[in-house]
Each structure stands twice: as structure tokens, then as C-alpha cells.
Amino acid sequence: MFELKVTSEFASAHNLRYYDGNCENLHGHNWQVFLYVRGETLQPKTEMLVDFKVLKHELRAIMKHLDHTYLNELAPFDQVNPTSENLARYIFQQMSQALLDHAIDNAYVYKVEVYETPTASASYMETP
């Protein structure tokens, strides 16, 4: 089994709905995102699982969409609480679709980890 990891970051504001505490108020984070991709076979010609360039490009596109926004006004977070858990799931789903769009069938998004502070993170993963 091979595993790749790329990281990115974005800054945004949000407030948590139905939360009894300070995080119910508007506040911001400098989010760190860790993307893990796994697969058992390398691409025949390149002998790579997935080109890092593709992973970085697609992850940056998602970060650009989230960067310097008020998450509560951005779909799906206008309906779904913009928690770290939901951000991890959103990025996971977006990156999974990006791999499909690139016709990458030898690898899958294994996990997305989102840090809202250096000491607090949430992860999302699915069974491939």
C-alpha cells in the first residue's frame, strides 16, 4: 500500500450554530489541511501513485474557494454547520471528485485532516 500526503491552508471566518459558548460568535481560523491518498498500484508509465502536482493543484483550488470567506454564507455551510468535522468531509468529497475527474482509478482519498488550531483537528475518512 502506498500513501501520499499533501498539505495546504486557508483562512476563513465562521460561527457555529447551536453552540453554547464563544464559538457561537463570529471568529476566524488559519486552517491547516492534510490530505492523504492511498493506493496499491503505481501508474505503469510514471511509477507514481498520483502526481503530486495534480494533488496540490486540486487541493489549492478547494482552498481558494474557502479562503477569506465567511463559511456560513458558502454552500454547503449555509445549511450545514461549518465545523472542523464538516470541513474535513467537504474537502474529502471535493478531492474524491477531483480524482475521478482526472480518471485516477488506482488511488483514492483515504483521509482529510483539518486543524483549526495547532492543537485541535478533525479527520474524515470513508471505506473505499
> Which of 27, 57, 65, 68 is labelled catalytic?
68
CA distance 71 to 78: 7
Work out whether the CA dihedral 74, 76, 81, 83 comes out positive or negative. Answer: negative
Does residue 116 have an active-site annotation? yes
> Which of 14, 58, 113, 116 is labelled catalytic?
116
**CA trace torsion 77, 65, 33, 1 (10° rounding):** 100
> Which of 3, 23, 24, 57 is labelled catalytic?
23
CB 101 within 8 A of CB 90: no
Q: Which residues pair with 34 in a beta bridge?
A: 7, 113
CA triplet 37, 41, 43: central angle to 5 degrees?
90
Catalytic residue list: 23, 68, 116
